[in-house]
Amino acid sequence: MTQPIHPTFQRPAFTSRVVPVIVITHPDQAVPMAHALLEGGVDVMEITLRHAAGLAAIEQVAKNVPQMHVGAGTVTRADEMARVHSAGARFALSPGMTEALVQAAMDCQLPFMPGVMTPSEVMAARDHGFTLVKLFPAAQAGGLAMLKALSGPLGDMQFCPTGGVSLSNMAEFLKQSNVAMVGGSWLTPVEVVERGDWREITRLAREAKDVAHGL
């Protein structure tokens, strides 16, 4: 069995319980977006590798906004782990989990949050030493009902549900004892980012932060 990752993704260094899931199409969007999120009280951003600009965007934030905890999302291949680590990502997330991804995270000593959808996948992640995993896609996996069901037999596991989480339902998710944080793309809408409306990003971030802090 693969040994647990060190450091494991158990106690995130960031304080925000809302993780923006971001697709960046131009690297020069990354730094102003990071500042806008920080101004709104969100100190973490998951920049996905869904677009070719993702890696360069991670590097820009890591170099220029050190107070932002920048992570790499949609890491699906083992060789991507080393690249995002070299770019300055402080952690990585994936929609799933493979032995190769776990080993690559261990090799890089990069905190990693694998994706799970079933109880067996949660148990497999736990066997690898993970205590925090990404429930993805959360809505299709059963959402709140699934999280409540998992809290009994797998009560020692914490989740970051992503996929189907929004401002309107994030409070319901965050109230669950086994939910550490939620992820979502609603904080950084593509059309808002494309027009560079950073004030709107700050507003959306503050709105989400206020909901999380009000629980």
Contacts of 29 (CB under 8 A, 6+ apart): 57, 193, 196
Across 41-49, average pLDDT: 98
Contacts of 43 (CB under 8 A, 6+ apart): 14, 15, 16, 37, 67, 68, 69
pLDDT of 9 > 90? The answer is no
| Residue 155 tokens, joined | 């009560």
Residues 143-166: tens digit of each pLDDT: 999 999 999 999 999 999 999 999
CA distance 66 to 50: 23
Q: How far is CA 7 from CA 24, 50, 113, 213, in A?
A: 28, 26, 12, 27
Structure confidence at residue 48 as a pLDDT band (50, 70, 90): very high
Answer yes or no: is 102 within a domain.
Answer: yes
Answer yes or no: is 3 within a domain.
Answer: no
Across 79-102, average pLDDT: 97
Across 71-75, average pLDDT: 98
- Range(s) of the domain holding residue 63: 18-213
Answer yes or no: is 97 within a domain.
Answer: yes
Q: How far is CA 210 from the centre of its chain?
A: 19
**Active-site residue, from 39, 46, 172, 191:** 46
Answer yes or no: is 158 within a domain.
Answer: yes
Across 17-28, average pLDDT: 97
134 is catalytic: yes
Answer yes or no: is 196 within a domain.
Answer: yes
CATH code at position 145: 3.20.20.70
Number of domains in the chain: 1
pLDDT of 6 > 50? The answer is no
pTM of the model: 0.94
Residues 195-215: tens digit of each pLDDT: 999 999 999 999 999 999 998
Across 51-69, average pLDDT: 98
Q: What is the CA radius of gyration of the chain?
A: 16
**Active-site residue, from 59, 80, 134, 209:** 134
Number of C-beta neighbours around residue 63 at 10 A: 12
Across 127-133, average pLDDT: 93
pLDDT of 180 > 80? The answer is yes
Q: Are strands 91-93 and 132-135 parallel, antiparallel or unpaired?
A: unpaired
pLDDT at 12: 66
Answer yes or no: is 75 within a domain.
Answer: yes
Structure confidence at residue 171 as a pLDDT band (50, 70, 90): very high
Structure confidence at residue 1 as a pLDDT band (50, 70, 90): very low
Contact indicator for 96, 73 with CB cutoff of 8 Å: no
pLDDT at 134: 97
Across 81-104, average pLDDT: 96
Answer yes or no: is 8 within a domain.
Answer: no
Write the DSSP symbol of residue 162: B
pLDDT at 13: 82
pLDDT-wise least confident of 12-21, 66-75, 81-90, 203-212: 12-21
Answer yes or no: is 96 within a domain.
Answer: yes
Structure confidence at residue 21 as a pLDDT band (50, 70, 90): very high
